Amino acid sequence: MLRLEKRPIPSRFWLYATPVVAVILTMIFGGLLFAAMGVNPFAVIKTIFWDPLFGEFAFYLRGQLLVKAGPLILIAIGLSLGFRAGIWNIGAEGQYIMGAIFGAAVGLAFYPTENRLIFPLMVIAGAFGGWVWAMIPAILKTRFNTNEILVSLMLVYVAQTILAKASTGFLKNPEGMGFPGSRNFSSFPAAANPELIAGSGLHWGGVTAVLVALAAWVLLSRHIIGFQIRLTGQAPRAARFAGVAPKRLVVLCMGLSGALAGLAGLFEVTGPAGQISIDFNVGYGFTAIIVAFLGRLNPIGIVLAGILMALTYVGGEMASTNLGLPSAAIQVFQGMLLFFLLAVDVFTNYRVRFGRVEVA
Amino acid sequence: MLRRTLLASAALGLGLSLASGAFAAGMDKVKACFVYVGPIGDGGWTYQHHQGALELQKAFGDKVEIAWQENVPEGADAERVLTQMALGGCNIIFTTSFGYMDATNAVAAKFPNVMFEHATGFKREHPNVSTYNARFYEGRAVQGYLAGKMTKSNKIGYIASFPIPEVIMGINSYYLNAKKANPNVELTVVWAFTWFDPAKEADAAKALIDSGVDVIASHTDSTAPLAEAAKSEGKVVGFGQASDMAEYKPSPRISSIIDNWGPYYVKRVGALLDGSYAQADAWEGISGGEVKIGEITEAVPADVKAEAEKIRDEIAAGTYHPFTGPINKQDGSPWLAEGQTAPDGDLLGMNFYVEGVTGDIPK
Amino acid sequence: MDIAGINLVTLIASLMVAAVPILLAAIGELVVEKSGVLNLGVEGMMIMGAIGGFMVAVATGSPLMGFIGGAIGGAVLSLFFAVLTLGFLANQVATGLALTMFGLGLSSLMGQGYNGVKPPPTGALFGPLGDIPVIGPILLGHDWMVYFSILIVAVVWWVLRYTRTGLIIRAVGESHDAAHALGYNVARIRLLCIMFGGAMAGLGGAYVSLVRVPQWVDGITAGAGWIALAIVVFASWKPWRVLLGAYLFGGITVLQLRLQAAGSSIPVEYLSMAPYLITILVLVIMSSGRSKAALNAPAALGQNFHASR
The model's pLDDT over B4-19, given as tens digits with 9 standing for 90+, comes to 333 344 344 433 333 3
Q: Clarify whether residues A124 and A239 are in a common domain.
A: yes
Q: What are the DSSP calls for A76-142, one per residue?
A: HHHHHHHHHTT-----HHHHHHHHHHHHHHHHHHTTT---TTHHHHHHHHHHHHHHHHHHHHHHHHH
Whether B86 is in a domain gets the answer yes
Whether A55 is in a domain gets the answer no
Confidence class of residue C123 from pLDDT cuts 50, 70 and 90? confident
B292's enclosing H/E stretch is strand B291-294
Chain centroid to CA C181: 32
Count other Cβ atoms within 10 Å, centred on residue A169. Answer: 14
Please tell me whether residue B168 adopts helix, strand or coil conformation: helix
Residue A26 phi, psi dihedral angles, 5° rounding: -65, -40
- Mean per-residue pLDDT over chain A, rounded: 86
At A271, the amino acid letter reads: G
Q: Clarify whether residues A306 and A330 are in a common domain.
A: no
Whether B218 is in a domain gets the answer yes
Provide the shortest C-alpha distance from residue B1 to chain A (in Å). Answer: 8
Segments forming the whole domain that contains residue B334:
136-256+323-348
Q: Assess whether pLDDT exceeds 70 at residue A1.
A: no
Q: Clarify whether residues B192 and B245 are in a common domain.
A: yes
Q: Clarify whether residues A19 and A89 are in a common domain.
A: no
The model's pLDDT over B173-189, given as tens digits with 9 standing for 90+, comes to 999 999 999 999 999 99
- Give the Cα separation of A145 and A149 in Å (integer): 12
The model's pTM is 0.86
Q: Clarify whether residues A12 and A106 are in a common domain.
A: no
C contact test, residue of A6, A87, A98, A144 with most C CBs within 10 A:
A144
- Give the Cα separation of B43 and A159 in Å (integer): 28
Q: Clarify whether residues A271 and A342 are in a common domain.
A: no
At A185, the amino acid letter reads: F
At B214, the amino acid letter reads: D
Whether A1 is in a domain gets the answer yes
Residue A13 phi, psi dihedral angles, 5° rounding: -60, -50
Confidence class of residue C289 from pLDDT cuts 50, 70 and 90? low
Q: Clarify whether residues B237 and B336 are in a common domain.
A: yes
Whether A59 is in a domain gets the answer no
Q: Clarify whether residues A10 and A137 are in a common domain.
A: no
Residues 6+ apart with CB under 8 A from B306: none
Count CB pairs under 8 A between chains B and C.
115
Q: Clarify whether residues B240 and B182 are in a common domain.
A: yes
Count CB pairs under 8 A between chains A and C.
143
Q: What's the total number of domains in chain A?
A: 2
Q: Clarify whether residues A158 and A306 are in a common domain.
A: yes
Q: What are the DSSP calls for B296-363, one per residue?
A: --TTS-HHHHHHHHHHHHHHHHTS--SSBSSEEBTTS-EEE-TT-B--HHHHHT--SPBTT--S----
- Give the Cα separation of B259 and C297 in Å (integer): 51
Q: What is the CATH number of domain C2-295?
A: 1.10.3470
Residue B309 phi, psi dihedral angles, 5° rounding: -65, -30
Beta bridge partners of B32: B66, B92
Bridge-based pairing of strands B155-160 and B215-218 is parallel
Confidence at residue C7, expressed as pLDDT on a 0 to 100 scale: 80
Provide the shortest C-alpha distance from residue C116 to chain B (in Å). Answer: 7
Which candidate, B88, B91, B28, places its Cα nearest to that of A323? B88
Whether B344 is in a domain gets the answer yes
Average pLDDT over residues A109-125: 88
Count other Cβ atoms within 10 Å, centred on residue B62. Answer: 8
Q: Clarify whether residues A281 and A334 are in a common domain.
A: no
* Dihedral class, residue A184 (left if φ above 0, else alpha if ψ from -120 to 50, else beta): beta
Confidence at residue C290, expressed as pLDDT on a 0 to 100 scale: 56
- Give the Cα separation of B344 and B347 in Å (integer): 5
Confidence class of residue C309 from pLDDT cuts 50, 70 and 90? very low
Q: What are the DSSP calls for B10-71, one per residue?
A: HHHHHHHTTS---TTT--S-EEEEEE-SS-GGGSSHHHHHHHHHHHHHHHHGGGEEEEEE-S
Which candidate, A94, A103, A97, A101, places its Cα nearest to that of A126? A103
Contacts of A158 in chain C (CB under 8 A): 273, 276-277
Segments forming the whole domain that contains residue A237:
69-324
Please confirm whether the linkage preceding A8 is cis (ω < 30° from 0): no
Average pLDDT over residues A235-260: 85
The model's pLDDT over A40-53, given as tens digits with 9 standing for 90+, comes to 999 999 989 888 88
Whether A268 sits inside 8 A of B76 (CB atoms) is yes
Confidence at residue B22, expressed as pLDDT on a 0 to 100 scale: 44
For helices A58-84 and A284-294, give the axis angle rounded to 10 degrees.
80
Which candidate, B93, B52, B101, B91, places its Cα nearest to that of B69? B93
Q: Clarify whether residues B208 and B246 are in a common domain.
A: yes
The model's pLDDT over C37-57, given as tens digits with 9 standing for 90+, comes to 999 899 999 999 999 999 999
- Give the Cα separation of A153 and A137 in Å (integer): 9
Confidence at residue C104, expressed as pLDDT on a 0 to 100 scale: 92
Q: What are the DSSP calls for C107-169, one per residue?
A: HHHHTTT-TTPPPPP--BTTGGGGGSTTHIIIIISSBHHHHHHHHHHHHHHHHHHHSHHHHHH
Q: Clarify whether residues B123 and B40 are in a common domain.
A: yes
A contact test, residue of B69, B77, B220 with most A CBs within 10 A:
B77
3-state helix, strand, coil in chain C (%, to 5): 70, 0, 25
Which candidate, A92, A159, A155, A145, places its Cα nearest to that of C276? A155
Residue A87 phi, psi dihedral angles, 5° rounding: -110, 115
Confidence at residue A9, expressed as pLDDT on a 0 to 100 scale: 80
The model's pLDDT over A137-158, given as tens digits with 9 standing for 90+, comes to 999 988 888 878 778 888 998 9
Q: Clarify whether residues A9 and A150 are in a common domain.
A: no
Q: Clarify whether residues B196 and B140 are in a common domain.
A: yes
Whether A273 sits inside 8 A of B12 (CB atoms) is no
Q: Clarify whether residues A1 and A115 are in a common domain.
A: no
Average pLDDT over residues C147-167: 95
Q: Clarify whether residues B172 and B64 are in a common domain.
A: no
Whether B301 is in a domain gets the answer no
Whether B198 sits inside 8 A of C213 (CB atoms) is yes
Q: Clarify whether residues A272 and A185 are in a common domain.
A: yes
Please confirm whether the linkage preceding A272 is cis (ω < 30° from 0): no
Give the ipTM of the model, two decimals please.
0.86
Q: Clarify whether residues B175 and B276 are in a common domain.
A: no
A352's enclosing H/E stretch is strand A350-354
- Tell me the CATH number at B33: 3.40.50.2300
Residue C124 phi, psi dihedral angles, 5° rounding: -70, 145
Whether C262 sits inside 8 A of B246 (CB atoms) is no
Whether A58 is in a domain gets the answer no
Nearest CA in chain C to B357: C263
Q: Clarify whether residues B83 and B114 are in a common domain.
A: yes
Among positive and negative, which fits the CA dihedral B149, B153, B154, B158? negative
DSSP 8-state assignment for residue B213? -
Confidence class of residue B239 from pLDDT cuts 50, 70 and 90? very high
Contacts of C281 in chain A (CB under 8 A): none
Average pLDDT over residues B45-58: 93
Whether C261 sits inside 8 A of B47 (CB atoms) is no
Q: Assess whether pLDDT exceeds 90 at residue B41.
A: no
Chains in touch with A (3+ beta-carbon pairs under 8 Å) read B, C
Confidence at residue B302, expressed as pLDDT on a 0 to 100 scale: 92
- Is B243 within 8 Å of B222 (Cβ atoms)? no
Q: Clarify whether residues B145 and B179 are in a common domain.
A: yes
Q: Clarify whether residues B198 and B337 are in a common domain.
A: yes
Beta bridge partners of B217: B158
Confidence at residue B27, expressed as pLDDT on a 0 to 100 scale: 86
Provide the shortest C-alpha distance from residue A52 to chain C (in Å). Answer: 22
Whether A232 is in a domain gets the answer yes
Nearest CA in chain A to C302: A86
Q: What's the total number of domains in chain B?
A: 2
CA-atom Rg of chain C in angstroms: 20
Contacts of B191 in chain C (CB under 8 A): 260, 268, 272
The model's pLDDT over B205-218, given as tens digits with 9 standing for 90+, comes to 988 998 889 999 99
DSSP 8-state assignment for residue C300? T
Confidence at residue B8, expressed as pLDDT on a 0 to 100 scale: 41
B92's enclosing H/E stretch is strand B92-95
Whether B309 is in a domain gets the answer no
Highest mean pLDDT among A59-63, A149-153, B34-38, C42-46 belongs to: C42-46
Highest mean pLDDT among A106-115, A273-282, C77-86, C253-262 belongs to: C77-86
- Give the Cα separation of A261 and A93 in Å (integer): 8
Bridge-based pairing of strands B92-95 and B129-134 is unpaired
Residue B67 phi, psi dihedral angles, 5° rounding: -145, 155
DSSP 8-state assignment for residue C7? E
Confidence at residue A58, expressed as pLDDT on a 0 to 100 scale: 84
B contact test, residue of C24, C106, C218 with most B CBs within 10 A:
C218
Mapping DSSP onto H, E and C, the string for A13-58 reads: HHHHHHHHHHHHHHHHHHHHHHHHCCCCHHHHHHHHHHHHHHCCCH
- Give the Cα separation of C259 and C250 in Å (integer): 14
Domain chopping of chain C, boundaries? 2-295
Q: Assess whether pLDDT exceeds 70 at residue A360.
A: no
Nearest to B102 among A275, A322, A327 (CB): A275
Q: Clarify whether residues A200 and A308 are in a common domain.
A: yes
- Is C105 within 8 Å of A341 (Cβ atoms)? no
Which candidate, B101, B116, B14, places its Cα nearest to that of A186? B101
End-to-end CA distance of chain B: 34
The model's pLDDT over B278-335, given as tens digits with 9 standing for 90+, comes to 998 888 889 888 899 999 999 999 999 999 999 999 999 989 999 998 999 999 999 9
- Give the Cα separation of B69 and C262 in Å (integer): 42
Q: Clarify whether residues B122 and B266 are in a common domain.
A: yes
- Give the Cα separation of B202 and B300 in Å (integer): 24
Whether B103 is in a domain gets the answer yes
- Is A77 within 8 Å of A299 (Cβ atoms)? yes
Confidence at residue B20, expressed as pLDDT on a 0 to 100 scale: 38
